[in-house]
Structure 1
């Protein structure tokens, strides 16, 4: 019996040894995948086939906690782009990452307790977890590489980083909401205070939130860029897009130059920034930031206020409006915003005043139609007494679509260039006053310019005439000096000179009656000059 037990134990040990060797061989031959028959321990990793990304266990900063994450493989600075168990860390290096027969990824601690797992409602066959070259960790059926059939993917659950190919937005069919959330600190990847997501109430736009409070927003998409990010422009590095249809609403970007490494990050301070890796300096370089000045803070100037970071003070009221509390504005408290000078008169007719180069107001309380023309949009707005403004949905090819605002207009920013047009509803009498004031201003400017031009012309004419007279005097003097060629004239240029006709007339044509005498130099005549 003892011999039999010993043989049995030896056989079991050999079986375990072969299984371990088999697992090692599988991992070494398929470095980008995990199957249901294998797992990776702390200290082991898998790498995407092109070597761009690596997945394994790591500790952030000087923390002693351990997490499962994905980071760049080819750059010198460890930069984590996704974390699995971000809110439940491992306290030691006993962690294991595995995938079950049901296609569920799990992180297990030393007590065999599951501290994190993915979720999937689809049936699975020979499930495989694979780290793709894009940095996307996917769970798929063994022989199915169709992205539409993935059982689960990390791109659907971003942390603080948006990579090329990721979608920031909502799948309207599955309900998956893909948003960025900041880390708490460099040492703690758990969900921080800030979230960047697509706000779908009204017309969709990208907003920055702290809890339930909106801190900033990029404005609605106008076909070319978000109206609050005119610095987002076509470039040779990446292309971007905003998709809004019956299935999805999302923002994404793709690389044009695949040699460039770039990422968009929501940091611990709530700043949304794009970085590019500079290989020469071995560092990340800031390429673009969505927050450029204080006017990007939500509702800085209150209702019907307009913010311009290049002016002082930066806050003003829209034309036709005035500060709600003037004494507050005088001490730079703009929070209460502005009110109308003249109330709307819906029954007797209102009108619209165009404002150009702005970030459109917040779009929560809005109605839209993507096929109407701007003129149709204005008519619809005037027919509804609650409508306060309108604009195009899309500014391409002359503009199309209709946005209608109801309620107070909040968070308007003015740009010195770019931006978008909006038509603010005002009482007809107010539009007349604004128009009259604008006409007076134009006339005043035109009159001032005309006066300055006339003064300059007068000055130029005076200088010209003075120079002409001076040249004429100099010309006559030179001519007479040549004719007389006398030293006395050369010594005294102020000596009066007379031409022949004048002298002939003064001597009565050299009359004998005027002759006084005659000497060695010839006759001398008496002259009479009138």
Structure 2
């Protein structure tokens, strides 16, 4: 039995349709239902809003769980909306005056006998003919997330088409238009996940190290989900699948809090399992540059790296750490020592300005760092099976923390004098 089947609508789906052909339509009050009865497509009004939106939601779950909205910023003003598929393979929403309010992106593929279909995954797709192969998809809602990521949905980039799949918060519980917050894959340097408020990073779960995200060790669902990170010349994305009798989605709420929402086969009630950034050390660059954050109970503490001192000592002494740390002694390129101190259980620094190689081992990685006097640290890309790959940082290191029982080894360049007694 699949994850979705355990949530099958108790009333069954007898007589419900899950697809539309050209010139067919559904009116406000009608819907499409996935074959196994898990997902439904239709018009709805969120919260206290009177606007009408076309959405996909989970059936028979409490509370109403909308996972995708088509016309996010273009609500219909009454219940006279219509969803229709035209001969060009474009899905359109019409208002009561028969004017187009929203339409799906036009495919660059040849269109033959297009059909719109709501799949058991919750993906609303337009495809050529009856086949379910992804290569037949002319368009899919999974390429245009709302505030929710679901199992099998790619979070990241299609490098060939330039499509950036990220999810963004609603403006409010009553308004599904794009809000201030977004959660995305930053592909500058080595790819990493970031939570943004506008153009500002607020929380950085970090890069993938083969087992997990370096900055987010919480694994409440370990053994119940499969996580994947794919990076090649065509795509860069994260993806997860559910296992066992559990259905989990990840949502970014209007306040910028990332939540994991779960339902089991025993209940239709929602369980909140993840709350995103959980302490002060999760705040991006909380300790400034060249400093790492530690949590002692509920209290954060910032410490300069070896060979560094607070940039603003008077602020540092009153626990205001955002100014970060600077080198104790400036040294020029010819005096690059080639000495490194190993820090354990670390959240790796921001990788947006990093350099990486999948082919190098750790020894080769160190040699590459020594050759560049601005190289400040190195680490393995992948920590599985003894470690592999190379990740290099240059100049200032940003957004690090030390965990008690998590993280990985990070080798930071230090003056020889700092190695005495270590």
Map 1:351-430 → 2, pairs under 5 A: 351-430=339-418
Q: Which residue of 2 aligns with 1:130?
A: 117
Aligned to 1:56, which of 42, 45, 55? 42
Q: Which residue of 1 aligns with 2:317?
A: 330
* Counterpart-to-counterpart distance in 2, 1:278 and 1:228: 27
Map 1:106-255 → 2, pairs under 5 A: 106-119=92-105, 120-232=107-219, 235-255=222-242
* Counterpart-to-counterpart distance in 2, 1:315 and 1:283: 40
Map 1:444-459 → 2, pairs under 5 A: none
Q: Which residue of 2 aligns with 1:74?
A: 60
Q: Which residue of 2 aligns with 1:292?
A: 278
SS of 1:261 mapped into structure 2? strand
* Counterpart-to-counterpart distance in 1, 2:130 and 2:183: 36
Displacement, 1:313? 4.8
The TM-score, its normalising length taken from structure 2, stands at 0.93
Displacement, 1:346? 3.6
Structure 2 unmatched ranges of 5 or more: 1-12
* Counterpart-to-counterpart distance in 2, 1:155 and 1:394: 28
SS of 1:242 mapped into structure 2? strand
The TM-score, its normalising length taken from structure 1, stands at 0.74
SS of 2:296 mapped into structure 1? coil
Which structure is higher in RCO with an 8 Å CA cutoff and minimum separation 6? 2
* Counterpart-to-counterpart distance in 1, 2:248 and 2:161: 29
Query: Which stretch shifts more, 420-429 or 307-316?
Result: 307-316
Task: Point out the structure with max Rg over C-alpha.
Answer: 1
* Counterpart-to-counterpart distance in 2, 1:269 and 1:425: 39
> 8 Å contact 2:306–2:414 — kept in the other structure?
no
Query: Which stretch shifts more, 272-281 or 190-199?
Result: 272-281
Could you say which structure has the higher helix fraction?
Answer: 1
Displacement, 1:122? 1.9
* Counterpart-to-counterpart distance in 1, 2:61 and 2:320: 47
Q: Which residue of 1 aligns with 2:419?
A: 431
Aligned to 1:95, which of 81, 85, 96? 81
Instruction: Flag the 1:381–1:187 CA change in 2: closer, same or farther, 3 A.
Output: same
Displacement, 1:67? 0.2
SS of 1:148 mapped into structure 2? helix
